[in-house]
Amino acid sequence: MHSLGQEIQGFSRNRLKKQCTHVTTVTGRRLLERRRGDGGVEVEEVAEPSGCGFVEDASLDLQVGVVRPFLLLASQDAAHDIDTLQRYKVSHVLNVAFGVTNLFSDQLVYKTLQILDLPDTDITSYVEECSTFIDRAREQDGVVLVHCNAGVSRSSSVVIGYLMLREGLPFDAAYSQVKQARPSIRPNPGFYQQLQSYKPRGSGNATPEHVRGLDSD
């Protein structure tokens, strides 16, 4: 009859059940750690399991929403595609993304505001400054492309705010018109609530220059 000590000595590491540990790093990478028989650890990166999470869409989003003849809404993909910019006769670009570069500064007029797409960001505090840039471009018979990263939340909120401030539209009408131009828009919940409550000072009271611009269309 074997003693406990003999059994322990005769037990092979290979008979141990292989242990795997799934690790998700702070940057979102998923790693699989496997312990080898010699005590070492192997690490490999694993893809998201099918049916879980989301599948990244690597295709370019070049859809441009024409909100007004002088006011366009799109993603950074369109803002970085010179053929798209030329097709829509873009002369000015309003970049409200965070960390997105302006590629054609020698050909276009840019304004950059690095806005975070967070519900507690005060998006309405940027509307007046953005609207001034849009107005100046329009006075020069230019066409403004407003973009963020995806053209979904920040840029759409700025354009909605512009229509409310400069044209005096109520939120529902402004949102509907921007949604019609670019169906993929979806301001984050904080931006949505802020715009619903937005009461721009002097909305609908255009400056003389702005009125002349309207008459020239």
Taking the C-alpha atoms of residue 93 and residue 150, their distance in angstroms, rounded to an integer, is 15
Q: CA-based diameter of the chain, in Å? A: 105
Whether the Cβ atoms of residue 95 and residue 102 lie closer than 8 Å to each other: yes
Q: Tokens at residue 123, please? A: 């998006």
Q: Tokens at residue 30, please? A: 């998923």
Q: Which helix (H) or strand (E) holds 74?
A: strand 71-74
Q: Which amino acid appears at position 13 of this protein?
A: R
Whether the Cβ atoms of residue 146 and residue 159 lie closer than 8 Å to each other: yes
Q: Does residue 163 sit in helix, strand or coil?
A: helix
Which amino acids are annotated catalytic? 148
CA distances, 189 to each of 46, 117, 154, 196 (Å): 33, 10, 11, 11
Taking the C-alpha atoms of residue 164 and residue 168, their distance in angstroms, rounded to an integer, is 5
**Alpha-helix runs per DSSP H in 11-126:** 76-79, 82-87
